[in-house]
Structure 1
Amino acid sequence: MSASSLLPLLVLWPLAGGLLGLLLPRGAGPLLLGVSTGNLALAVALVDALAGAGKVAHSVGGWSTPLGIALRADGLSAVLILVAGAVAPLLALYASAAYAGRELRYFAGLFLLFLGALNGLFIAGDLFNLYVTLELLGLSAVALAALGGGAAALAASLRYLLATITGSLAYLLGVALLYRATGTLDLLQLSGQGPALPGGAVAFALMVAGLLLKAAVFPLHFWLPPAHANASPPVSAALSALAVKAPLYLLLRLWLSTYDGAWPLVAELLAAIGAAGVLWCSLQAVLQRRAKLLVAYSTVAQLGYLLLALALVPAAGAAAYGAFTLLLVSHVLAKAGLFLAVGNLARRAGHDRLDGFERVVQHLPLSASAIALAGVSLMGMPPSGGFNGKWLLLQAAIATGDWWLVAVILVGGLLAAVYIFKLIEHTFGGSDRPDATALPRRMEWAALTLAASAVGVGFLGQPLLRLLGGVP
């Protein structure tokens, strides 16, 4: 199989599995696990191909741009497809124990559609197909958030739906303005043209606003905490780890490619938004009394670090680009593991109130360990991937003379330590309930594997940075 033929397979394989999952009355669990594992194998093959080639491209149907659909992968695409591919089988393993019957069938179908859209977004070569994949990703995530929930989950999903549709419309209006000015939507053909185009600044503002809303970046995060708090653990993990990262990936591509990192004011604005998100949402996480809300606000705070890295890329180059990638990968793994572990604790206790968490270390030792390991990465402690990412981010801020960002990064790390230790304290404190609900061990192993992987990324920093290559 040629390297270029892997690209359409990475989209078609999970999409076909998703449609089968929704249509077949039985076998959802094995289908979910099998398709997710196959997707991981394709991701590994892509990384192996890119290690030698650097970039891979494919024109669907053999038609060149603008008639054909261009698919392209580089180091960043491959890293993100690989980490999403690694998370998917573990979420599938957890979901096969957490769901049954119709719920498992719907989760399998929707999650595989979600995974196919995510892969498609990472390799789409034009702005319209980026919109299509972004929309499919958002709609499948909304449906997942409503899965198996009551009135509160439905209300949160409707709020999420409103946010994703509004963000998509803003993005699409920006795309329309670019097409009107250039007659093309291909990213290579648009490279560097954005700032000089008529209406280019307005198009960029619309697309940035839409993407930041879909990413739930502060202060546009109103939809995310309720969606997380009322969704089931594997859904919360998928939303926090994967769904909100895709718009930021697209924002990075747009700014560095189409707009060539133009307008220093944009960098300053993104840095200010990111810094405010880190501080405010970390403080909100500290104040929460429900574990899932604590982890949800932590997600918004950690997204702030990604904005800081993105803002520094035009001035700091490789250090900020590496920080963005390592922070993103580490957060994907740590937050997926943390949501699954907290979900295990809540399932055993019957609720997710911190003050009511029973002493679970005796009965759920792997989940307790997962919380501790995920916390190490989120706090940015060595030897985790979070530490490597924040170290590169500090280097980028120092190199550009942005000392106020250095202070934000350090204070944010201290606040992260406060809310992580608050969660750990309640995990290991209180009285035991021997009659509490027992959990299948695979639900614990899935959480622990993800959290441990976030720490393990700290030992793979150099190989990941080599795969990335230079700043695109």
Structure 2
Amino acid sequence: MSAVALALATNPGGYLLVLAIVLPVVGMLLSLVAGGRNAERIALALMPAGLGIALVIAFGVWREQAPLVYILGGWAPPLGIALRADGFSAVMLVTAALVVAAAGYFARPLFATPPQRAEARAPLAFWTLLQGLWAALNMVFLGGDLFNLYVALELLTFAAVPLVCLDGRPETLRAALRYLLFALIGSVFYLLGAALLYGSYGTLDIVLLAEGIRAAPVVAPATFAAGGLMTAGLLAKTALFPLHLWLPPAHANAPAPASAVLSALVVKGSFFLVVRLWFDVMPGLASDAAMGLLGALGSGAILFGSVLALRQRRLKLLIAYSTIAQVGYLFLMFPLAAGSEPWNGQAWNGGVMQALSHAFAKASMFLAAGLVAESLGHDRIADLRGIGHAMPMTLFAFGLGGLSLMGLPPSGGFTAKWLLLQATVEGGQWFWAAIVLCGGLLAGGYVYRVVAPALAASPLDVRASPSRGREGIVLALAIAALLLGFAPPGFLGLLQVGRAAIVP
């Protein structure tokens, strides 16, 4: 059986892909029916089950060393829709399940409905939107059709934007509207590109579309236009420099659990589709110039975001600008992983490891900032002197997350940046190595700017100490980012399952 035929046939275990999407959708619908008091219970009960499904999918991909496929309704593409999980999809599913669960359990005191109180709007909205966001992310990671991926992106946007302005403050409403504007413009560009591809090839299934583009004697100008439009739209949703203007106010003003999910996962959804577009759909169009441009934009994000992070006065704003910088590293994989040489595989692993380590580290840091703001009533960096003595576990978790952002051993961030550096050396692309090293130094600067005064022996007025359970969640996420640095070779082999080796 040909590779295309295998990619268009359901294989054992494929039904788990449907469960990964249906579970949070069912939870979201039940929450709407049951009301805010029960929405929390439904969400928290389903999160362990969702994590279990994601782990089984990842194990299945690793065991078979081949993607899992499920054809919905038995109708093969282009008439039907296929769900596919390769190595990249599998690890992102597990990461999403872990971060969503951590954010959910952390958020219980913030969005609980005590028995003696009437139901409020915010808890119902939070728990319903969190499950909707989780479902949309799973659709993004598993979708095999560009139009259905567009639908998943829209669901992700309309779940993420309201999370920014749950408290209804004017500044959060402005941040949410700016986020929505950028997201909708990005959606229009993506949809225009998808329409051009459908008009040229008569299908939007990723496997069939890639086969059609590869078999075409001459690539139509519409295909190049489609690639440019879709990439521009996805970059706006990812907040890659210079399309980053919506991200700092949105992430800094959202509730801490929402900020953690937005930074750790939501921006990764659109990045994931940029990878799918250039490595799976249009590998033959990945020219040196196109890949170099994405790398250059990533480099600009690393430098620009890091410098602005150094200048922030609020802790959550510093972390938000750090997200812009760390997202930039993800785009260094495009000029480095485009090829079939061994070092191209290292760059691919480095890019994926950066996505994973950043997700855990940034979720931990945003939740730590939330605990600081709750305990002090503010997150002004200048007034954090002595916080390390009042909240040692919180600061320790923040420091561990910063360790990964800096790329210091033995963290997952170190492994990611080391793999990227190896690829730059072996591929003779030294310029990117200088960017990686410079970004690490700048990250050290803005992490030190928080940690150093926080360790000072200074009296501090703490309103209420955080619970050990919530501090434990923050620390567990930071430790997860650290443990990625000890990933065995088999884990890196999982990341290679389904990777398309492209030659620009």
TM-score (norm 1): 0.97
- The answer to whether 1:456 aligns with 2:470 is no
What CA distance in whole angstroms lies between the structure 2 residues aligned with 1:363 and 1:98? 21
**Pairwise CA distance, 1:58:** 0.6
- The answer to whether 1:130 aligns with 2:149 is yes
What CA distance in whole angstroms lies between the structure 1 residues aligned with 2:454 and 2:263? 21
What CA distance in whole angstroms lies between the structure 2 residues aligned with 1:243 and 1:172? 19
What CA distance in whole angstroms lies between the structure 1 residues aligned with 2:414 and 2:226? 36
What CA distance in whole angstroms lies between the structure 2 residues aligned with 1:16 and 1:422? 44
**Residue 39 of structure 1, aligned match among 16, 39, 50:** 50
C-alpha RMSD of the superposition? 1.6
The one-letter amino acid of 1:273's match is L
What CA distance in whole angstroms lies between the structure 2 residues aligned with 1:383 and 1:399? 22
Q: Please state whether the residue corresponding to 1:199 is helix, strand or coil.
A: helix
What CA distance in whole angstroms lies between the structure 1 residues aligned with 2:386 and 2:208? 59
Show structure 1 runs of 5+ residues with no match: none
Superposed, 1:18-167 pairs within 5 Å as 18-25=28-35, 26-53=37-64, 54-101=66-113, 102=120, 103-167=122-186
**Pairwise CA distance, 1:437:** 2.6
1:336 corresponding residue in structure 2: 363
Contact 1:192 1:259 in 2 (8 A): no
**Per-residue deviation, residues 227-268 of structure 1 (Å, max 9, x unmatched):** 011111001001100000111111111101121152211111
**Pairwise CA distance, 1:186:** 0.5
1:290 corresponding residue in structure 2: 314
CA change 1:98–1:425 in 2 (3 A) is farther
Q: Please state whether the residue corresponding to 2:105 is helix, strand or coil.
A: helix
Contact 1:364 1:444 in 2 (8 A): no
**Per-residue deviation, residues 180-228 of structure 1 (Å, max 9, x unmatched):** 0011000000115448134011100000000000000111000000001
What CA distance in whole angstroms lies between the structure 2 residues aligned with 1:29 and 1:369? 29
Contact 1:21 1:106 in 2 (8 A): no
What CA distance in whole angstroms lies between the structure 1 residues aligned with 2:346 and 2:60? 25
Q: Please state whether the residue corresponding to 1:401 is helix, strand or coil.
A: coil
- The answer to whether 1:253 aligns with 2:276 is yes
Contact 1:278 1:301 in 2 (8 A): yes
Query: How many equivalent pairs are there?
Result: 472
Q: Please state whether the residue corresponding to 2:69 is helix, strand or coil.
A: strand
The one-letter amino acid of 1:452's match is I
**Per-residue deviation, residues 292-317 of structure 1 (Å, max 9, x unmatched):** 11000100000110011123111442
Q: Please state whether the residue corresponding to 1:72 is helix, strand or coil.
A: strand
**Pairwise CA distance, 1:363:** 3.2
The one-letter amino acid of 2:82's match is A
**Residue 324 of structure 1, aligned match among 351, 369, 380:** 351
The one-letter amino acid of 2:104's match is A
**Pairwise CA distance, 1:358:** 4.8
- The answer to whether 1:271 aligns with 2:283 is no
Superposed, 1:345-384 pairs within 5 Å as 345-384=372-411
What CA distance in whole angstroms lies between the structure 2 residues aligned with 1:243 and 1:308? 19
**Pairwise CA distance, 1:84:** 1.0
**Pairwise CA distance, 1:69:** 1.7
TM-score (norm 2): 0.91
**Per-residue deviation, residues 9-62 of structure 1 (Å, max 9, x unmatched):** 110101111222233222222222111111101001111211222211111111
**Residue 419 of structure 2, aligned match among 381, 386, 392:** 392
Show structure 2 runs of 5+ residues with no match: 1-10, 114-119
What CA distance in whole angstroms lies between the structure 2 residues aligned with 1:49 and 1:61? 22
